[in-house]
């Protein structure tokens, strides 16, 4: 038969419980009383009760109680550690069972607190999920950590049953979350565009190509503004980000060309001009156009463009092999039907 907890004076049990608690919670007294009662009534062995407490601690971590009920989890882990130490030191069974049961009760209460947090702080929890999906914790670890700490502070208000106060203080947190979301979206979708713009700036693009530079910069700014106003419109943001990347890559390519032309020595001008002539010639050869290098670059580009359009139009009007085969099969079926009709009519003749 298991030793009875009744043999231990009640004031000693209460004192032990008070020592085990890390923080005072509104439901703490009820939890203490329930733990005492269940520890007395339980028919489980000390080892079984410890194992049950261990499983509850594991469940607490899988349910993210470190976030949803931090004080409850802290108390649960402390009581479980005390129960383990008492068991290993072969202390009185009363102490082992009491602290093991307390650990279980703390976790159960923490699960109830999690439900309350989801109810009262649903907006900030939704925003937190968005930040996690965007991997804000990787892009802006310090900002995310600061928001997480503020969030936990609100959750601790819920632990203290100050739900109204928690909701009031949630409003500024929501604003910070939105700002971090916008920053993260910008970095996620526009990082490559920012990089190409920076490289173009290093090539003095703003001075060498002021109009092209302004176009690329304005496109990025307009996209940033759209993100601020519509942070959840991922499809449009993705399309705009691709346009920004195209504009910044174009700016970078033209900046390199401008720099090459600016820094070219007189003796290397010929090779630079011939290089661009060869670029047009490659296009002409690819579409089987005659040699037109005797014309200006402008005229060559116009003629090659017109010739390319004609090729495309003629290709569109050419029936495919599949179409030809389908048409042939259709006429074959018509011929067979016609032959059958002729034979039928011949049979009807006297």
> What was the pLDDT predicted at 10?
36
| pLDDT per residue as tens digits for the range 62-85 | 999 999 999 999 999 999 999 999
Q: What is the pTM of this model?
A: 0.67
DSSP states along 108-154 = HHHHHHHHHHHHHTHHHHHHHHHHHHTTHHHHSHHHHHHHHHHHHHH
User: Could you count the other beta carbons within 10 Å of the beta carbon of residue 151?
Assistant: 21
Residue 161: which of 127, 129, 119, 122 has the closest Cα? 119
Phi, psi (deg, nearest 5) at residue 130: -60, -45
Alpha-carbon distances of 2 from 13, 16, 41, 56, 208, rounded to whole Å = 18, 20, 10, 23, 89
Please state which of the ranges 27-31, 281-285, 337-341, 346-350 shows the lowest mean pLDDT.
346-350
Query: Where residue 327 falls among pLDDT bands split at 50, 70, 90?
Result: confident
Cβ(196)–Cβ(245) below 8 Å: yes
> What was the pLDDT predicted at 341?
62
> What was the pLDDT predicted at 9?
39
Rounded to an integer, what distance in angstroms lies between the CA atom of residue 82 and that of residue 77?
Answer: 9
Give Cβ neighbours of residue 198 (< 8 Å, ≥ 6 apart). none
Q: What percent of the chain is modeled with pLDDT above 70? A: 85
Cβ(110)–Cβ(60) below 8 Å: yes
Mean pLDDT, rounded, of the chain? 85
Is the predicted pLDDT of residue 223 greater than 90, yes or no?
yes
292 vs 115: which has the higher pLDDT: 115
> What was the pLDDT predicted at 199?
96
Would you say how long the chain is, in residues? 350
Query: Where residue 238 falls among pLDDT bands split at 50, 70, 90?
Result: very high
Mean pLDDT of 113-121: 96
Give Cβ neighbours of residue 159 (< 8 Å, ≥ 6 apart). 25, 69, 70, 71, 72, 113
**Alpha helices, DSSP H, located in the chain:** 10-20, 28-41, 46-62, 65-68, 70-88, 93-120, 122-133, 136-139, 141-159, 163-202, 205-208, 210-229, 234-263, 269-286, 297-317, 321-348
Residue 109: which of 205, 203, 27 has the closest Cα? 27
Rounded to an integer, what distance in angstroms lies between the CA atom of residue 225 and that of residue 293?
Answer: 47
Q: So where are the chain's domains? A: 5-120, 126-252
Helix 93-120 with 122-133: angle, nearest 10 deg: 90
**Which residue is listed with tokens 């920076």?**
198
């Amino acid at each position: 038969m298991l030793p009875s907890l009744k043999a231990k004076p009640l004031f000693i049990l209460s004192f032990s419980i008070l020592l085990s608690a890390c923080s005072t919670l509104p439901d703490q007294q009820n939890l203490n009383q329930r733990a005492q009662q269940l520890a007395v009534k339980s028919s489980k062995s000390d080892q079984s009760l410890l194992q049950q407490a261990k499983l509850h601690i594991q469940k607490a971590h899988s349910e993210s109680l470190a976030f949803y009920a931090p004080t409850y989890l802290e108390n649960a882990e402390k009581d479980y550690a005390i129960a383990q130490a008492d068991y290993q030191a072969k202390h009185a069974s009363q102490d082992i069972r009491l602290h093991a049961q307390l650990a279980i009760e703390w976790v159960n209460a923490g699960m109830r607190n999690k439900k309350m947090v989801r109810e009262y702080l649903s907006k900030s929890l939704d925003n937190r999920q968005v930040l996690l999906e965007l991997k804000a914790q990787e892009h802006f670890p310090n900002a995310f950590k600061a928001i997480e700490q503020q969030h936990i502070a609100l959750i601790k208000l819920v632990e203290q049953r100050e739900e109204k106060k928690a909701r009031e203080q949630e409003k500024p947190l929501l604003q910070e979350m939105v700002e971090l979301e916008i920053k993260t979206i910008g970095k996620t979708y526009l990082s490559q565009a920012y990089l190409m713009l920076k490289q173009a700036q290093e090539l003095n693009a703003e001075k060498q190509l002021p109009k092209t530079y302004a176009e690329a910069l304005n496109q990025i700014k307009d996209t940033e503004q759209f993100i601020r106003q519509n942070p959840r419109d991922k499809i449009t943001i993705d399309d705009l980000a691709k346009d920004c990347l195209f504009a910044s890559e174009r700016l970078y390519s033209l900046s390199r060309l401008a720099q090459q032309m600016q820094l070219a020595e007189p003796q290397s001008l010929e090779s630079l001009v011939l290089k661009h002539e060869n670029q047009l010639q490659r296009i002409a050869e690819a579409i089987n156009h005659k040699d037109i290098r005797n014309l200006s670059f402008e005229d060559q580009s116009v003629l090659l463009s017109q010739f390319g359009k004609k090729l495309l139009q003629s290709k569109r009007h050419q029936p495919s092999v599949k179409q030809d085969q389908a048409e042939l099969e259709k006429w074959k079926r018509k011929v067979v039907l016609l032959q059958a009709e002729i034979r039928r009519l011949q049979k009807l003749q006297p």
